[in-house]
Amino acid sequence: MSTTTKSAYHHGDLRAALLTSAMEMLEGGETFSLRAVARRAGVSATAPYRHFEDREALESALAAEGLQDLKADLAAAGSVPATPADLGELGVIYVRFALRRPALFKLMFGQECDPENDQRVIAAAELHDMLAFAMNHVFPGHDGEALAAAGWALAHGLAFLHLDGKLKATSQEEVDARVRAAFAAILSIQTSPAS
């Protein structure tokens, strides 16, 4: 049993303890159910139902947490991107997150966003807004929304191509170089400003 989970629960935050247990199980490759998560957190089998209607609700909460973690990684890059190369670095961070936390990444994007989960909807919207802001900053006068969707799709596609073994790499440096090259190739194409 995780010490972190146990101490979090003893401080009165059952929801956080359950999420921590579920995240540890997910990222450790364990199959989990609400009952298994409760057991790992050291609580009764019915305790998770105080916070999660079912396993899907728990998975949706984990996905929301993952989206927040990804956003934090992207924000940690520092200043607002000023060049296409800076946008490529955001792509590198995105793909690194996917490769470092593959089970969570697949959970985050492997199912439709539950519109009933406000946290997940907000986290996904914040991530999209961050990317749109970055694109608008690098390409003022262009359609930032469309560019954000294209940049996200590029990073996301590269992440899954690596996760699924379609793009082989012998090192993280090779993956990073591939992501940078893909962003440079796409973002160097001249487009005329939106009218």
Q: pLDDT band at residue 11, thresholds of 50, 70 and 90? A: very low
Q: Residue 32 — pLDDT band, cuts 50, 70, 90?
A: confident
Could you give the angle at the alpha carbon of 161 between the alpha carbons of 159 and 162, nearest 5°? 65
Confidence label for 114 from pLDDT (cuts 50, 70 and 90): low
Tens digit of each residue's pLDDT (9 = 90 or more) over 115-148 = 666 788 888 889 889 999 999 999 998 988 899 9
Residue with tokens 């490759």: 29
Helices (H), 28-169: 34-41, 55-75, 84-100, 102-109, 118-138, 144-163
pTM (2 d.p.)? 0.85
Q: pLDDT band at 161, cuts 50/70/90? A: very high
CB 99 within 8 A of CB 175: yes
pLDDT at 18 > cutoff 70: yes
Q: And the tokens for 38?
A: 């409760």
Which of these ranges, 8-12, 174-178, 180-184, has the smallest mean pLDDT?
Answer: 8-12
Q: Mean pLDDT across the chain, nearest whole number?
A: 87
